[in-house]
Structure 1
Amino acid sequence: MKRVLIITYYWPPSAGSGVQRWLKFSKFLPEFGWQPVIFTPENPDFALVDPSLEAKVAAGTEVLKFPIWEPYQLFRRIKKGGIKDPSRILEQQNPSLLDQIAVWLRGNVLIPDPRRFWVKPSVEFLQRIWEDNAFEAIITTGPPHSMHLIGRDLKRKTGTPWLADFRDPWSAWEFLDTLKLTSFARKKHRKLETSVFREANVLVTISPTFAREMEQLASRKVHLLTNGFDPEDLPAGFSPVSEPGETLEIVYTGVIDSIRNPFPFLQALKEVFGSSRNRVRLTFVGKVSQQLLDRIREDDWLQEHVHLTGYLNHEAVFSYYEKAHRLLLILTQTKNARGNIPGKLFEYMATGREIIGLGDPEGDAAKIIAQAGAGKVLAHEDTAGLVRYLQEIRQLSPEEGREDRGQPFHRRNLTRQLAELLQGMQHP
């Protein structure tokens, strides 16, 4: 069996779709002749942690861990236990001078990202391992895009074929626009990105829009490899049909932050159900913004009909899926929005529940939902459309679920495509 080195910052117990992507690829790769070896930091700085995911690591998966030093550690010392990640300063209304300096340094000094100090020692460490345990291929996944620099330098030193996986864009990433970048910093990002585009054997990204945009920048083929879903994650006995009840249950899972706007849906929900005898409950499963908390506290009707669970581990989320009659998907409102395909979309589809989305009706996520017959996506500003939709489902009994909605995006099928790309690097 061929060995492939997968270099990723995010790995269990970290939570999030970036973790799920390579956790699942590593699970199924051995079925296609590739034995994954994971290289990840020994002491990473995760914003969200889900220890239950550690049990999902496939038996026999070799995980190499190497210490990392991150500027966030120094920042926290100065802040005396304040903000954990300077990037979260961007959501504050009145950041302090120290906070503003941290944002500027993040954008203009820590290029491409705060994990840049891990690149050189990681390459030296992996070179020593290479002497006794060679790999047939390298995979890097970013962001953080420093992971790609490790792959680039390893390829330069060993000649090993290398696949670079982009879960978000690099120089065109919307996040960079919030960091007060100088022209010098933008040129530096573009120079590093160009070296990765030029030297990687294969480029991969998660959405058709991102692939088209990257192809224009890279002047070469970029392969599409979406996220997906593993049916084995569904609990035993999970039913694709929701149970009828007196209350219409709508569930959203994931983060609500400054680029995911739930307020048009709240407005429409109250307009339709505020004076209705039909009962409704909207549940947010996950971390939500202070703005959403304040909005709910200011409104007695929302306090009664909107439920907040806070962050839950991945396994606990499925109990909310099972009781849901509809699943709410709130897509981003940014320049990268058209290519935004949240990992949870495929999980939503696998539950069999109908999806109602807020976002770009012509975006990649909306097209996937439409092609699968899994629901619909309405624009954030389409208040009338949201009202009509809620009026329709107010009168309906729970929809019959469909188990086949997520089948084209089964993690095993996606891993087969990945294995074909890896094999193609061996025999170009």
Structure 2
Amino acid sequence: MKKRVLIITYYWPPSGGSGVQRWLKFAKYLPEAGWEPVIFTPENPDFDLKDESLQKEISNELEVMKFPIWEPYQLLDRIRGKKESHPGRVLEQKEQNFVEKAAIWLRANMMIPDPRVFWVKPSVKFLTELIEKGQFQAIITTGPPHSMHLIGRDLKRKTGVFWLADFRDPWSQWEFLDKLPMQNRVRNKHKKLEQEVLQEADVVATISPTFQEDLEKLANRKIALLTNGFDSSDIPKGFSVGEKKADSLHLLYSGIIDSIRNPMPLLKAMREEFSHENADVKFTFVGRVSDQVREEIIADSWLSAHVYFAGYVSHHEVFEYYAKADALALILTNTKNAKGNIPGKLFEYMATSLPILALGDPEGDSAKILDKTGVGEILNHSDRVAIQISLRKLFERSGESEPATGIEQYSRINLSFQLAKLLDADSLS
């Protein structure tokens, strides 16, 4: 008989993005590793991105419990008379009115650790009885939103259930918090709550070696490394990338472009390198691009003629775009958390066998993975000459792409067996 683990996550299909992919895949493969997952997620969440196609990946045998949540964004929408009032998107606006500034201040100082905190108490009340009846041998909480960890903390205190806390991003050291007008007392409250989670969870896991090291310093304890990965079953049957012709280049970026992911150094380097010749080059964005970046591209006559916006497409459809690309662009953050930034998209990129040109920290965790697997390089955002040289090499390259080496360690099924070991407490004993 399989042991049952309750996975408490805010992000679940139809939510899109890497946050949902991580636990959707673990839920898919954990049964093969001896654990039966059960999902606990909001019934009426306010998602930023949606991908309805991900619903098809949920097994009919997977139990998903949905529980009502109240979020303050809905009230703010009514006050503003607009949709999409998430502070993260409002922060990207060049100008903010009084109501928007007030909303950001309230988000920073009154909703600790985040606006989903109102889900904590009712969820704990609902789940306590189920756990006390022995329905679950372990629970997992994944954040952000880090209020999910407060559910785990309270359930641990009430029932003693085995608890794994998964940090997809830092908490008190998260760069997003630095963008908020946060009072010192609130910052200290975040640190206090974070310490409670770090000390009381049976296992703490995170996605990158840098985040692992940072959390170990904060917690003074062992933190497990559990990276993101790729699922070979996501790759459509018959998928292949064509042979690249010399003297042409089609770069593709898949994912979100927001206030902390700036593609302009790469695009400007492309313009400087190729605008003086009638070169066959183009750049395609697949996903949501911030208004600020869009406007800057459209205002530039050369870029507007060579850059294309495909918009947000389903996870399955993105492979159709990969098949038409010559190389993949990866735009990492250029902020204090940049060294530990390993986006889930990196592993999917590697599985395509296309070469990767990334902007980010050349000494960071993603750079080490790319160097080890031999599929690309990461250049500093400010190293214009090196970016142009790399673009020229990609432009002149011809023939088939070399597959990545040693990427099986990042397969979702292998990672699920690693997770099972953590739940069994074998690897940290």
TM-score (norm 1): 0.97
Partner in structure 2 of residue 303 of structure 1: 304
Counterpart of 1:37 in structure 2 is: 38
Q: How does 1:21-60 map to 2 (within 5 A)?
A: 21-60=22-61
Aligned partner of residue 69 in structure 1, secondary structure: coil
Q: Identify the residue that residue 364 of structure 1 maps to in structure 2.
A: 365
Residue in 2 that maps onto 1:273: 274
Partners of 1:423 and 1:242 lie apart in 2 by 46
CA distance in 2, matches of 1:280, 1:186: 47
Partner of 2:181: 180
Specify the alignment match of 1:233 in structure 2.
234
Alignment correspondent of 2:161: 160
Matched, 1:120 2:121: yes
Query: Is the contact made by 2:374 and 2:404 (CA closer than 8 Å) also made in structure 1?
Result: no
Cα distance change of structure 1 residues 367 and 234 upon mapping to structure 2, 3 Å threshold: same
- Cα displacement string for residues 380-424 of structure 1 (whole angstroms, at most 9, x for unaligned residues): 110000111122222221442316463220011111110000011
Aligned residue in 2 for 1:334: 335
Could you tell me whether the CA contact under 8 Å between 1:242 and 1:324 is conserved in 2? no
Match of 1:62 in 2: 63
Provide the rounded CA distance (Å) in 2 between the counterparts of 1:398 and 1:205: 38
Distance 1:22 1:89 in 2: 28
Cα separation, partners in 2 of 1:94 and 1:101, compared to 1, 3 Å = same
Q: Which amino acid aligns with 2:322?
A: Y
Counterpart residue number, 2:285: 284
Which residue of the partner structure matches residue 16 of structure 1?
17
| Equivalent position SS for 1:58 | coil
Residue 241 of structure 1, CA deviation: 4.9
Aligned AA (2:40): F
- Which has the larger displacement, 114-123 or 288-297? 288-297
| Distance across 2 between alignment mates of 1:88 and 1:261 | 15
Corresponding residue number in structure 1 for 2:416: 415
Q: Deviation at 1:292?
A: 1.8
Q: Counterpart amino acid of 2:289?
A: V
- Please state how far the C-alpha of 1:300 moved relative to its aligned partner: 2.1
Rounded to whole Å, the distance in 2 between the matches of 1:52 and 1:117 is 29
Structure 2 CA distance for aligned equivalents of residues 388 and 244 of structure 1: 18
User: Pairwise mapping of residues 196-235 of structure 1 onto structure 2 (< 5 A)?
Assistant: 196-235=197-236
Q: Structure 1's 358 and 112: CA in aligned 2 closer, same or farther, altered over 3 A? A: same
* Structure 1 alignment gaps of length 5 or more: none
- Call closer, same or farther: CA 1:425–1:200 in 2, change over 3 Å: farther
Residue 87 of structure 2 corresponds to residue 80 of structure 1? no
Identical counterparts, % of pairs: 57
Is residue 5–residue 135 contact of structure 1 (8 Å, CA) maintained in 2? yes
Kept in 2, the 8 Å contact 1:112–1:189? The answer is yes
Q: Please give the per-residue CA displacement for 1:104-130, whole angstroms capped at 9, x wherever unaligned.
A: 111111000001110000011112333
Contact kept, 8 Å, 2:156 with 2:163, in 1: the verdict is yes
Counterpart code for 1:317: V
1:402 aligned onto 2:424 = no
Check 1:155–1:167 CA distance in 2 against 1; reply closer, same or farther (3 A cut).
Answer: same
| Cα 1:251–1:52 shift into 2, 3 Å | same
With 169-178 and 234-243 compared, the bigger mean Cα shift is at 234-243
Check whether the contact 1:174–1:336 (CA below 8 A) recurs between aligned residues.
yes
How far has the Cα of 1:263 moved from its partner?
A: 1.0
Q: Which moved further from structure 2: 344-353 or 274-283?
A: 274-283
CA contact (8 A) 2:375 2:402 kept: no
Aligned mates of 2:394, 2:246 — CA distance in 1? 13
Corresponding residue for residue 387 of structure 1: 388
CA 1:340 to 1:283, structure 2 compared with 1: closer, same or farther past 3 Å? same
3-state SS of 1:115 partner? helix
Paired with 2:72 and 2:399, the residues of 1 have a C-alpha distance of: 50
SS at 1:388's partner residue? helix
**Separation in 1, partners of 2:104, 2:229:** 33
Contact persistence 2:41–2:65 (CA under 8 A): yes
Q: Contact 1:278–1:394 at 8 Å: present in 2 too?
A: no
Aligned residues: 428
Give the distance between the partners of 1:83 and 1:170, measured in 2 at CA: 24
Secondary structure (helix, strand or coil) at the match of 1:256 reads: coil
Contact 2:246 2:396 in 1 (8 A): no
**How far apart are the structure 2 equivalents of 1:130 and 1:231?**
34
**What are the superposed Cα offsets for residues 199-242 of structure 1, whole Å, 9 maximum, x if unpaired?**
00000000000000001111101111000000100011011554
**AA of the residue aligned to 1:288:** V
Whichever residue aligns with residue 220 of structure 2, its letter is: S
- Equivalent residue of 1:280, what SS? strand
Task: Verify the 8 A CA contact 1:240 1:402 in the aligned structure 2.
Answer: no
Partner of 2:250, secondary structure, is strand
Q: Which amino acid aligns with 1:116?
A: V
C-alpha RMSD of the superposition: 1.6
Using the TM superposition, give the Cα deviation of residue 181 of structure 1 relative to its aligned residue in structure 2, in angstroms: 1.0
Cα distance in 1 between the residues matched to 2:157 and 2:426? 16
Q: State TM-score, norm by structure 2.
A: 0.96
C-alpha distance in structure 2 between counterparts of 1:132 and 1:392, whole Å:
62
**Letter paired with 2:150:** L
Say if 1:14 and 1:20 are closer, same or farther in 2 by CA, change over 3 A.
same
Residue 92 of structure 2 is matched in structure 1 by 91
Q: Structure 1 residues 401 and 322, CA, compared in 2 at 3 Å: closer, same or farther?
A: farther
1:253 aligned residue:
254
Supply the AA of the counterpart residue of 1:162.
W
SS in structure 2 of the partner of residue 315 of structure 1: coil
Unaligned runs of 5+ in 2: none
Distance 1:133 1:64, change over 3 A: farther
